């Protein structure tokens, strides 16, 4: 897994768009997880709430807490921050770098391994 970070006002935050982030998003929006999975990247509020959830999850994975709510985050972010987040969201949720790689264990460095299959 490739860690992704976003810099907001000089501070770096990890972003992780995973199931936990979607559950947090659905709670903040008061919707079902099924509706949360249909997030439209055209909705300003939806992006801001998902960005909050994804940063919370990323920071949790880094052993830190992120207590800001979507309104507080909205006060800090720029258009560039939103653009950077959308690129990470698309990569992690819709597929991107590494998705064509086989799953590995925690010691896997992400490098492609030589195939040991011999075609007859």
Query: b/e string for 65-98 if b means 16 or more Cβ within 10 A?
Result: ebebebeebbeebeeebbebbeebbebbbeeeee
What pLDDT sits at residue 96?
56
Tens of pLDDT along the chain (120 residues) come to 689 999 999 999 999 999 999 999 999 999 888 888 887 777 778 899 999 999 999 999 999 999 999 999 999 999 999 999 999 999 998 775 544 444 444 444 444 334 344 443
The domains of the chain are located at 4-94
Residue that the structure tokens 């439209």 belong to: 40
Nearest 5°: the CA angle 65, 57, 17 is 155
């Amino acid at each position: 897994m490739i860690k992704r970070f976003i810099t907001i006002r000089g501070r770096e935050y990890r972003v992780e768009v995973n199931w936990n982030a979607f559950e947090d998003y659905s709670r903040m929006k008061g919707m079902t997880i099924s509706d949360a999975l249909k997030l439209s990247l055209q909705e300003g509020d939806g992006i801001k709430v998902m960005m909050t959830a994804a940063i919370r999850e990323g920071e949790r994975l880094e052993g830190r807490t992120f207590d800001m709510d979507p309104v507080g985050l909205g006060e800090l972010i720029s258009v560039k921050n939103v653009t950077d987040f959308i690129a990470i969201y698309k990569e992690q949720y819709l597929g991107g770098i590494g998705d064509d790689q086989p799953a590995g264990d925690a010691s896997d460095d992400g490098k492609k391994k030589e195939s040991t299959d011999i075609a007859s």
